[in-house]
Structure 1
């Protein structure tokens, strides 16, 4: 098989703090709605900062009789939605091989936290049980991967799924990212003094840190010829990806952005695209000064200062291993509609960020190719490129919004 055969996305499922589907999340992104509120999953009374982006009405969203803890309860519904969206709803794979690649930071952490609090062990915990639960629930018969590269895990899960398809080891791959709100993660980021007291302001001069979020996304990936043979119209193409590890510091990114630049250029090379063909970058954009500045250095170096970019973490917080999977799903909507999502809460752009950041309101621009970045502790850098299927009419939001 040609290892460069197009790999396409045929189905998507998303749950975030602002929506239980991709369309609901997308509409609220464009409307400037934030999921930030006082944490209710666990007691935050002893914390200086108490705001995060939780999924509301969690029990209603969860599948009846599902196994596992809170993370599994987020993962299974998005996989169900994605399979339904891809018209793969019978769980009978016949002669197809279907696998899963799940990216996560904390894994199924809630059983461990319950045990720490003396509540007893409620379910199996750990990272790998997420793929196990999904495999059992959906009768998967193919490769099963768990990727634990922290906040870049979603992109890396997508890259792993692409390779399984290109190597002929699977006919359908579910690429997913998931992380549930966790006391351990919340306390850990607080100890690093990386948390904002109120809102997350990516790229803003007055930004004070990130907000922790939770959520999940699943993408159904197939070879294009297989999707067409099933009579399913692909939603977008995964054109390329780039991965690097610069090991600059255990928590801080390299201010010279060497690893990020390398990952972006690797993705461009795999996609056989020139930098000027990328019309938008979905930024990692955590709202921490070091990360935002590093990413802006990288984008300006690779694409020039005119590149359009934005971060959705002002809306949904930093969902850790789910972040880049959710952001990839949002990029698909941007490709389909011709609308680029805004950066919420951006008032005064940090002058050191010398790129065109979309501020507060969406912008209508038809883009054929987009890049989505994700970074993680330890110097992990990932970039994926998503490309549009055919020509798509502009959406309902008409030329409003600003670049700063």
Structure 2
């Protein structure tokens, strides 16, 4: 089997419009939460989320008409440009890459087309075109002239991890030498209304693992990893950030929105990831938590971690800073893992004030922490009980 390494990262978030600024903001504990600026939410309360207010698509989109493609495509393409820059890829190399994209909502044009339908008004053709999920892939492939395999992974909030897994398997099995694995979601009124109806949205701050946590915050963003086969990366002199060592996936088969009360699926995903990586639970040094800030999720994840691990593994949730960016969430959290093993430092869980006895974990409260990180685990869970964990390792040439 081939070794799979990460050679580039790209990020478009509310705390950074590129991967480097995003990582710096994560370490400093910067919050990207702000009052929501979007039509159609006037009657709802609370009104805070993780929107990206200073993103200018015209600065990123070079081939597509930035005015006619959806915001999801804009964010995706921008994150890919950032990853290409950081990986120092030349067109003749990246044009042959596969593309795997994770998403929850795809594009959000339906918010406008359905409203127009209600008014019995016609929608512009470009809005109708955005309604097809494949336009995300089509727009990205057109922008970069990609000639490899493409796949959209619509696996809700764990879609980013599943996209990484697709690329990892293709390279590990010798079927491809380079892949873009990405996740994206624009800010969605539909998602906001849905979580609001579930009474899952926080009043103002996301407080993962805190005793007074009161929910998650809807956000938007995009993230991208460049995965390469080790020899392919070394031959072109790439700067290797981390190695992907293994993954685990499972399904709770329990409830459409709630985690299994015994955290069965979460535990299975982590166990599988550790086994495929060829390590033990004692080897895991850091966990990038799913950490949504809801009562049920944080309790279930804390229980699972304490059941599986014999030590208090430091873990943190960047959703405390940027909110829940849906399909982009686990991809951005994978970027955190890559930087953590590269630099031996982990970002904090901000807004933490009071320990919850049902969340007896070391959540790296409020301030970053430097310590040796050889292996990092990225956890991500989705509605329907779709659980995933990925192990990233500090890159060493001989192991």
Count of residue pairs the alignment pairs up: 385
Runs of 4+ in 1 over 6 A off after TM superposition: none
> What is the CA deviation profile of residues 366-389 of structure 1, one whole-angstrom value per residue up to 9, with x for unaligned ones?
200000100001111100001112
What is the rounded CA distance, in whole Å, between the counterparts of 1:350 and 1:126 in structure 2? 43
1:98 paired to 2:69: no
> What is the CA deviation profile of residues 203-257 of structure 1, one whole-angstrom value per residue up to 9, with x for unaligned ones?
0000000001100000000110110011112110011110001211010001211
The partner residue of 2:377 within 336, 359, 371 is 371
- Segments of 5+ residues of structure 2 without an aligned counterpart are 117-121
The partner residue of 1:266 within 255, 264, 272 is 272
Q: What is aligned with 1:84?
A: 85
Two-structure CA RMSD over aligned residues (Å): 1.6
Deviates most, 331-340 or 193-202: 331-340
What is the rounded CA distance, in whole Å, between the counterparts of 1:276 and 1:85 in structure 2? 32
Q: What is aligned with 2:119?
A: none
What is the rounded CA distance, in whole Å, between the counterparts of 2:170 and 2:301 in structure 1? 29
User: Cα distance, 1:41 vs. partner?
Assistant: 3.0
Once the two structures are superposed, the pairs formed by residues 279-358 of structure 1 within 5 Å of their partners are 279-358=285-364
What is the rounded CA distance, in whole Å, between the counterparts of 2:275 and 2:132 in structure 1? 36
The 8 Å contact of residues 379 and 389 in structure 2, kept in 1 or not, is answered as yes
> What is the CA deviation profile of residues 328-381 of structure 1, one whole-angstrom value per residue up to 9, with x for unaligned ones?
001111122211110010101211112212100001112000001000011111
The partner residue of 2:45 within 23, 30, 48 is 48
Q: What is aligned with 2:154?
A: 148
1:277 paired to 2:283: yes
User: Cα distance, 1:116 vs. partner?
Assistant: 2.1
The 8 Å contact of residues 17 and 55 in structure 2, kept in 1 or not, is answered as no
What is the rounded CA distance, in whole Å, between the counterparts of 2:180 and 2:39 in structure 1? 31
Q: What is aligned with 1:401?
A: none
The partner residue of 1:200 within 198, 206, 209 is 206
Deviates most, 126-135 or 7-16: 126-135
What is the rounded CA distance, in whole Å, between the counterparts of 1:99 and 1:276 in structure 2? 34
SS at match of 2:56: helix
User: Cα distance, 1:305 vs. partner?
Assistant: 4.5
> What is the CA deviation profile of residues 45-86 of structure 1, one whole-angstrom value per residue up to 9, with x for unaligned ones?
110211101012222554253352111110001101111221
The 8 Å contact of residues 127 and 148 in structure 1, kept in 2 or not, is answered as no
What is the rounded CA distance, in whole Å, between the counterparts of 1:62 and 1:151 in structure 2? 26
The 8 Å contact of residues 345 and 360 in structure 1, kept in 2 or not, is answered as yes
Once the two structures are superposed, the pairs formed by residues 248-263 of structure 1 within 5 Å of their partners are 248-263=254-269
1:68 paired to 2:69: yes
What is the rounded CA distance, in whole Å, between the counterparts of 1:14 and 1:352 in structure 2? 33
What is the rounded CA distance, in whole Å, between the counterparts of 1:106 and 1:146 in structure 2? 12
Q: What is aligned with 1:114?
A: 112
The 8 Å contact of residues 300 and 307 in structure 1, kept in 2 or not, is answered as no
User: Cα distance, 1:169 vs. partner?
Assistant: 2.9
What is the rounded CA distance, in whole Å, between the counterparts of 2:304 and 2:76 in structure 1? 32
What is the rounded CA distance, in whole Å, between the counterparts of 1:87 and 1:363 in structure 2? 29
- Segments of 5+ residues of structure 1 without an aligned counterpart are 392-404
Q: What is aligned with 1:247?
A: 253
The partner residue of 2:182 within 176, 179, 195 is 176
What is the rounded CA distance, in whole Å, between the counterparts of 1:166 and 1:236 in structure 2? 15
The 8 Å contact of residues 286 and 373 in structure 2, kept in 1 or not, is answered as yes
SS at match of 1:20: coil
TM-score, with length taken from structure 2: 0.93
Deviates most, 270-279 or 346-355: 346-355
The partner residue of 1:36 within 30, 33, 53 is 33
